[in-house]
Amino acid sequence: MRVVQITDTHLSPGKSHFAPNWAPLAEWLQAARPDLVVHTGDLSVDGADVEADLEHCAGLLRALPFPVLSVPGNHDVGDLPGTRQPANAERLERWRRIIGPDRWVHDQPGWRLVGLNSQVIGGGDAEEAAQFAWLEGVLEACEGRGVIVFTHKPIFVDTPDEGDTGYWSIRPAQRRRLLELFERHGVALVASGHLHRAWTGAHLGTRYIWGPSSGFVVGPMERDMPGDRILGAVIHTLDETVSSEIVALPELRPFVIDDVIHEVYPRHQPAEATS
């Protein structure tokens, strides 16, 4: 089975700065002929507040001639309590109504694919508690299948035991809980987006991969992080094991968010606008 991961497209009918990269990405997808496409979040420029952004993205994904599953990013449903756009009931309802479930299970022969909503992890509310209970259940019931987890935010940035990275990854207490679950259930791969970097590594038997954005790269306004600033996608091939190939797509235009941040995200601080 061939699963193609795309991420951080940042599309909008009102702010078309990165729209020129959608058509070549869709054309490349057709040539790649995946069995499934997984979008790991930030479909939209501002679906957290602009319903038309999510509707626009839903239409583009429906037009692809393959099944597509998506998990939400911060620009789709917001982020943790205390941020400018918290992932509240209204924003989550909008995603579920227009795009689909914000967490899901997709079983294939020998494999269980799990989509997580990283935007509620760390919120300390009923949504977070329900998702953790659900995750424990779907991992316990994997019945010998290999497991791949897709999420927007990475579990960690520099090291698994790092402190709170704020906007960039999962908070330490919830990270420890996830890492314990992944180790206990032998999760093969965790694939994420958010950082607009391409990187792969491993921890306690689980491989981690950051998919590159197909929308834009981030210049010096972003703090230094591991990985490569490229535009592209990831091909995950599922057989007895899973192998992942990060693919740079030279046909995508190398937009740099730094150049247009004042137009695309004028209300955001730089660190909140880059992923």
Number of domains in the chain: 1
d(CA 48, CA 84): 10
What six digits make up the tokens of 206?
A: 């689980």
In a domain, 198, yes or no: yes
Contact 251, 28 (CB under 8 A): yes
Write the Ramachandran bin of 160: left for phi over 0, alpha for psi from -120 to 50, otherwise beta: alpha
- pLDDT by residue for the chain (275 residues), tens digit each? 999 999 999 999 999 999 999 999 999 999 999 999 999 999 999 999 999 999 999 999 999 999 999 999 999 999 999 999 999 999 999 999 999 999 999 999 999 999 999 999 999 999 999 999 999 999 999 999 999 999 999 999 999 999 999 999 999 999 999 999 999 999 999 999 999 999 999 999 999 999 999 999 999 998 889 999 999 999 999 999 999 999 999 999 999 999 999 999 987 644 444 44
In a domain, 197, yes or no: yes
In a domain, 271, yes or no: no
Q: What is the CATH number of the domain that holds 197?
A: 3.60.21.10
Which alpha helices (H) appear in 99-244, and where do they start and end? 126-140, 172-184
DSSP states of 237-252: EESSSEEEEEEE-TTS
Which range marks the domain in which residue 179 is found? 2-264
